[in-house]
């Protein structure tokens, strides 16, 4: 029935910082309510780096280590490290480089992918290409985000949404029916302004005159903070998630009847419900952890995947659909037979 996979997942891991920021905590620092956040988004609390001495690469390293241990391989076995992130440690070198150093993955190539919340899905398709070409045997695919560092405390419409986290998988060449059997990735640059971090890059560094976007009333430099037209993003998000699901299933040669589990990008409980309804997945077969972790962008799906496996909700042979959308606009989906 379905396509033969090129690559399979042999280990998963994730990392969440210890600090918990609840909606009640947010009520104390901005004009918001637990009720608004719960009803509109579904988040109750999120994990944040806060005052901990941690970076994106530290979180990526922890998730990568956990996935390697799960896979039973050592750092020397890793041929390539791909980190999907929009909150890198620095412009360059890539966050993946620090992960390579931290892990002692002395035989690995390492680079980042920037595709916002769809980043980990994009990274998985890149890993698949390397494995199909026979280039690499063990690839660490990580999604890691320190998104709270990009959130603007003066913007309650975005600040309440984000959390910090990382998730990772080790992938290897498939040797049977189990593995990634379908994928779909897409983009639309016409929608870039709906969701972006405007500053920080070479283009915008020149444009410091753009005072309104760059500086808040206290003179703080906000050029790198996230800006979003939430309402418009929401509308495109639902469409993008449904298209991703349909196209990834089509690529896999399956229908929704063949699916046994759904892991949507955790951006909004209402968006998760919409995609679950479209693929007719009952509640117990849908991963929802947004209540506890918030939106962690490219870390969202690998964190949820690891949790679902470790909680025994996903078992060997399950056919899992993942779908995501994010800034760019980017969107995409994967079908993975575990």
- Residues in contact with ligand UT7 by CB under 6 A are 32-33, 36-37, 40-41, 117, 156-157, 160, 195, 228, 230-231, 233-234, 237, 267-268, 295, 326
E-strand ranges in 93-211 read 109-113, 139-146, 164-173, 179-187, 195-197
| Nearest approach, Cβ of residue 332 and ligand UT7 (Å) | 13
DSSP state of 295: B
Distance CA 244, CA 330 (A): 10
Closest CA to 75 of 104, 116, 46, 40: 104
Give min distance, CB of 146 to ligand UT7, in A.
Answer: 15
Single out the catalytic residue among 23, 178, 222, 295.
Answer: 295
Give whichever of 162 and 261 is closer to ligand UT7, judged by the CB atom: 162
Query: Which is closer to ligand UT7, CB of 75 or CB of 167?
Result: 167
| 295 annotated active-site | yes
Contact 240, 329 (CB under 8 A): yes
Q: Give least dist CB 162 to ligand UT7, A.
A: 8
93 upstream amide cis, omega within 30 of 0: yes
Sequence-distant (≥ 6) Cβ neighbours of residue 81 within 8 angstroms? 64, 96, 99, 100, 103, 105, 108, 109, 110, 111, 139, 140, 142
Token pair of 67 as six digits:
């996935």
Q: Which is nearer to ligand UT7, 41 or 309 (CB)?
A: 41
CA angle (60 as vertex; 59, 61 as ends), nearest 5: 90
Residue pair 122/84 in contact (Cβ under 8 Å)? The answer is yes
Instruction: For ligand UT7, give the closer residue by CB, 80 or 269.
Output: 269
- Listed in sequence order, the residues at least 6 apart from 116 whose beta carbon sits closer than 8 Å to its beta carbon are 86, 195, 297, 298, 326, 327, 328, 330
- Whether the ω angle into residue 254 lies within 30 degrees of 0, i.e. cis, is no
Given the residues 80, 265, 268, 289, the one annotated as active site: 265
Whichever of 233 and 254 has its CB closer to ligand UT7, that residue is 233
Closest to ligand UT7 by CB, 82 or 272: 272
Least Å from the CB of residue 333 to ligand UT7 = 15
Q: In this structure, what DSSP letter does residue 221 have?
A: B
Give the span between the Cα atoms of 162 and 296, in whole angstroms. Answer: 6
In the complex, least distance from residue 193 CB atom to ligand UT7, rounded to whole angstroms: 14
Classify residue 4 by its DSSP letter: P
CB-nearest residue to ligand UT7: 230
The active-site residue out of 14, 80, 117, 289 is 117
Instruction: Give the nearest distance from C-beta 166 to ligand UT7 in angstroms.
Output: 16
Instruction: Enumerate the active-site residues.
Output: 117, 265, 295
């Amino acid at each position: 029935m379905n396509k033969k996979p090129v690559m399979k997942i042999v280990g998963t891991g994730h990392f969440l910082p210890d600090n918990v920021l609840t909606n009640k905590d947010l009520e104390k620092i901005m004009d918001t309510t637990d009720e608004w956040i719960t009803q509109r988004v579904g988040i109750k609390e999120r994990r944040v780096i806060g005052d901990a001495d941690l970076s994106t690469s530290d979180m990526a390293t922890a998730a990568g280590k956990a996935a390697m241990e799960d896979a039973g391989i050592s750092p020397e076995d890793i041929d390539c490290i791909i980190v999907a992130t929009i909150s890198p440690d620095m412009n360059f070198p890539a966050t993946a480089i620090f992960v390579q150093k931290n892990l002692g993955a002395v035989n690995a190539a390492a680079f980042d992918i920037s595709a916002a919340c769809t980043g980990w899905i994009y990274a998985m398709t890149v890993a698949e290409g390397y494995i199909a070409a026979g280039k690499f045997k063990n690839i660490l695919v990580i999604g890691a985000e320190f998104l709270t560092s990009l959130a603007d405390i003066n913007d309650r419409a975005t600040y309440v949404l984000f959390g910090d986290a990382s998730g990772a998988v080790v992938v290897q060449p498939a040797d049977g029916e189990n593995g990634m059997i379908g994928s779909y990735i897409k983009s639309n640059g016409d929608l870039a302004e709906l969701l972006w971090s405007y500053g920080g890059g070479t283009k915008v560094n020149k444009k410091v005159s753009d005072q309104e976007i760059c500086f808040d009333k206290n003179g703080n430099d906000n050029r790198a903070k996230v800006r979003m037209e939430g309402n418009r993003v929401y509308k495109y998000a639902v469409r993008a998630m449904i298209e991703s699901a349909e196209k990834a299933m089509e690529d896999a040669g399956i229908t929704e009847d063949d699916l046994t589990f759904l892991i949507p990008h955790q951006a909004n409980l209402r968006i998760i419900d919409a995609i679950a309804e479209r693929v007719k997945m009952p509640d117990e077969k849908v991963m929802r952890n947004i209540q506890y972790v918030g939106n962690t962008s490219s870390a969202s799906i690998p964190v949820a995947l690891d949790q679902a496996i470790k909680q025994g909700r996903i078992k060997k042979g399950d056919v899992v659909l993942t779908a995501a959308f994010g800034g760019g606009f980017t969107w995409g989906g994967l079908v993975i037979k575990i």
